[in-house]
C-alpha cells in the first residue's frame, strides 16, 4: 500500500462535499469546482462504487477544462482508475497529464506505481493460471489412473 496513492478520504469530509454537491444540484447548477472537489473525494473513498462515481464526475469535466484543470482532472482520473485496477485507463490519463506537464513528479510517480502494480498483478495472475492448470492436469491424471484400475 502506498500512502500517497492509496489513502482514503475521511467519511465526514466526503459527506460534507456530498451535501454541498446535492445542494448545488437542487439549486439547478453544480459549479465545476464543487463537482471537482466531490469527484476528488469520491476517487479517494474506500468504496469501489464511490470511486466509480468519482471517475464519472471527473470524466464529465475533462473535455471542457482549462489546461490547468485538465492536468488536475487527468491526475485524479488516473488515480481513480488505478484504484479500480483499470491500469490501462490509468496510464492513458497519465499520458494526457504528462503531455501537458512532462516533468509532473506526482504523475511520474503514479505512472511508475501503476506499471509496478501491473507487473506484480500480471505475475500473480500468471502464477494463479499456472497453478490452476497444474491442478487440472493433476486431477486429469488421477482420473485416468483410476479409470485404468
Task: Specify the CATH number for the domain of residue 55.
Answer: 1.25.40.10
What was the pLDDT predicted at 122?
84
CB atoms within 10 A of CB 48: 11
Contacts of 11 by beta carbon, 8 Å cutoff, 6+ apart: none
HSE-up of 31 (CA within 13 Å, CB side)? 7
Residue 121 sits at φ, ψ, to 5 deg, of -65, -35
Checking 90-96 for CB contacts under 8 A at 24+ apart, the result is 90/114, 91/115, 96/70
Residue range(s) defining the domain that contains residue 20: 3-148
Place of cell 471527473: 58
pLDDT of residue 129: 53
Total domain count, the chain: 1
Please identify every stretch of the chain with a pLDDT value under 70, giving residue numbers as ranges. 1-2, 123-149
Per-residue exposure over 95-113, b if at least 16 CB sit within 10 Å of its own CB, e if not: ebbbeebeebeebeebbeb
pLDDT of residue 85: 95
Which long-range contacts link 109-118 to residues 24+ away (Cβ below 8 Å)? Answer: 109/4, 110/5, 110/75, 110/78, 110/79, 110/82, 113/2, 113/5, 113/82, 114/78, 114/82, 114/87, 114/90, 115/91, 117/82, 117/87, 118/87
Check residue 143 and give its pLDDT.
59
What's residue 127's pLDDT? 47
pLDDT at position 68? 92
The model's pTM is 0.79
Amino acid at each position: 500500500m502506498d500512502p500517497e496513492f492509496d489513502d482514503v478520504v475521511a467519511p465526514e469530509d466526503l459527506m460534507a462535499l456530498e451535501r454541498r454537491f446535492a445542494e448545488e444540484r437542487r439549486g439547478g447548477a453544480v459549479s465545476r469546482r464543487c463537482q471537482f472537489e466531490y469527484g476528488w473525494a469520491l476517487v479517494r473513498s474506500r468504496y469501489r462504487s464511490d470511486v466509480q462515481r468519482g471517475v464519472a464526475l471527473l470524466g464529465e469535466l475533462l473535455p471542457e477544462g482549462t489546461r490547468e484543470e485538465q492536468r488536475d482532472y487527468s491526475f485524479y482520473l488516473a488515480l481513480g482508475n488505478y484504484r479500480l485496477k483499470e491500469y490501462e485507463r490509468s496510464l492513458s490519463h497519465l499520458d494526457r497529464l504528462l503531455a501537458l506537464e512532462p516533468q509532473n513528479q506526482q504523475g511520474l510517480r503514479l505512472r511508475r506505481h501503476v506499471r509496478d502494480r501491473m507487473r506484480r498483478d500480471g505475475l500473480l495472475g500468471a502464477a494463479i493460471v499456472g497453478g490452476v492448470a497444474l491442478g487440472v492436469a493433476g486431477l486429469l491424471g488421477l482420473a485416468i489412473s483410476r479409470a485404468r484400475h
